[in-house]
Structure 1
Amino acid sequence: MEVEYRTATPDDTAECIALRGKTRENAFSIEQLEELGITLESWQAGISNGSLRGYVGVSEEKIIGYCFGDSETGEIVVLALLPEYENKGVGKALLNQMVESFSSLGFERLFLGCSSDPKARSYGFYRHLGWRSTGLFDDADDEILEYFPKK
């Protein structure tokens, strides 16, 4: 399996939205994303104006995963991967690219919302990579984790 990693472009948005509904955990349909205010247009605008920075993993000419973050706050807003590409280092590679990107912007602390259920894949994934609980929860009842990139 060969994966090419690159910076996300506004043209990737439709494929990213479709992929989000195919993830194993925390899947969101197009309609559910729209209810949260996440639309094709809002996502494209965020990429275009630089407020939403992201990377995609591409294999056999299709996006198989992505990671996006809010370049104004340092929040990792989404990491999504097709189930057949799990446990192959793709999610870790995408997250690492976002961490490096945000470090280059000067962020000394990054954060994200993650399931507080130890049975959820994301729970162990982020903690294994050095993310730590803040003890706080967001509006979706996700636990806020933080990470301090090495300088």
Structure 2
Amino acid sequence: MKIRLALPADIPAVFEVRTGVRENHMSMAELAVIGVTPDTLPGMLEGDGRGWVAEEDGRVLAFAMADAADATVFALFVRDGSEGRGLGRLLMAEAEQWLFARGCAQIWLVTDSDRAVRANGFYRHLGWTDDGLQDDGQVRFIKRA
């Protein structure tokens, strides 16, 4: 298994992972409503945006995406059936290091406020701090360099 920068050629696999998760599931139509489509994703991988994939035998198992202009990790998803292998931890480390290297003193992300959602415990385990409930019902986590 290797972690590498995401490329435009990875976009179909990234959407396959994203739409195949059990928790925080979104369909292609739901993603399109928030502006995430196969046409918009390439722009999120350049400039102030970056993405990484965890790949094994040519298959994308997980991905993360970050935006340095907003100092945020806005996506981290692991393919159903590939959880528990440390892929999320490795991808988050890449995103965090990149954001801090780009000069972000504090980074943030949002996730479901339901404590039963695995992401909540995962982010806490990685040293992220709960920064409160947002207007949309999600919880914001922060991490300082």
TM superposition score category, shorter chain reference: over 0.9
Alignment of structure 1 residues 16-27 onto 2, 5 Å: 16-27=14-25
Superposed, which structure 2 residues align to 1:90-109 within 5 Å?
90-109=87-106
**What are the residue-to-residue correspondences of 1:62-73 with 2, within 5 Å?**
62-73=59-70
* C-alpha deviation, 1:46, in angstroms: 2.1
| Contact preservation (8 Å) 1:18, 1:30 | no
Show structure 1 runs of 5+ residues with no match: none
Q: TM-score, normalised by structure 1?
A: 0.91
Give the residue type in structure 2 aligned to 1:14: P
Identity of aligned residues (%): 27
Q: Secondary structure at the match of 1:46?
A: helix
Aligned 8 A contact 2:68 2:104 in 1: no
What is the CA–CA distance in structure 1 between the aligned matches of 2:7 and 2:61, rounded to whole Å?
Answer: 15
Distance in 1 separating the partners of 2:26 and 2:62? 14
User: C-alpha distance in 2, partners of 1:10/1:138?
Assistant: 33
Q: Distance in 1 between matches of 2:98 and 2:135?
A: 24
Runs of 4+ that moved beyond 6 A: none
Q: How does 1:15-94 map to 2 (within 5 A)?
A: 15-47=13-45, 49-94=46-91
Aligned length: 145
Residue 142 of structure 2 is matched in structure 1 by 146
Which digits, 9 at most, give the CA deviation of each residue in 1:96-131, with x for residues without a partner? Answer: 000011111011101000122111100100011111
Supply the AA of the counterpart residue of 1:116.
Answer: S
User: What value does the CA root-mean-square deviation take over the aligned residues?
Assistant: 1.2
Measure the CA separation in 2 of the matches of 1:52 and 1:46.
5
**Offset, 1:138:** 4.8
Does the 8 A contact of 2:113 with 2:133 survive in 1? no
SS at match of 1:41: coil
Q: Is the 8 A contact 1:136 1:144 kept in 2?
A: yes
Question: CA offset at residue 20 of structure 1?
Answer: 0.5
CA contact (8 A) 2:24 2:112 kept: no
